């Protein structure tokens, strides 16, 4: 999977913060070694909405 669709990129130096972001759906893009420790580059993709999100079903559909 490439970087296509990444809408936000962020650098973090805290593994705890990175793990929390990964749990929320962010992706690890790179790890850069620095003198003070690793720098993690994470990114998130655009959340795709359901095309029917916001539409209500009529009575004929819900009451069958």
**Domain that residue 23 falls in:** 1-46
pLDDT of residue 61: 60
pLDDT digits (tens, 9 = 90+) for 39-54: 999 999 987 777 777 7
Instruction: Answer whether residue 5 is part of any domain.
Output: yes
Q: What is the pTM of this model?
A: 0.69
DSSP-based three-state secondary structure for 22: helix
Q: Quick one: tokens of 49? A: 């909405």
Residue 62 sits at the vertex; the CA angle it makes with 64 and 47, to the nearest 5 degrees, is: 140
Q: How many domains does the chain have?
A: 1
pLDDT at 60 over 70: no
CA distance 27 to 2: 11
The Cα angle at residue 7 between residues 12 and 27, in degrees rounded to 5: 50
Q: Is residue 56 part of a domain?
A: no
Over residues 2-51, the pLDDT tens digits come to 788 899 999 999 999 999 999 999 999 999 999 999 999 999 998 777 77
């Amino acid at each position: 999977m490439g970087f296509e669709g990444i809408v936000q990129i962020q650098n973090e130096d805290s593994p705890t913060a990175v793990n929390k972001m990964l749990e929320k759906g962010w992706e690890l893009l790179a790890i850069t070694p620095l003198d003070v420790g690793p720098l993690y580059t994470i990114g998130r993709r655009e959340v795709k909405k359901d095309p029917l999100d916001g539409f209500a079903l009529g009575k004929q559909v819900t009451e069958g």
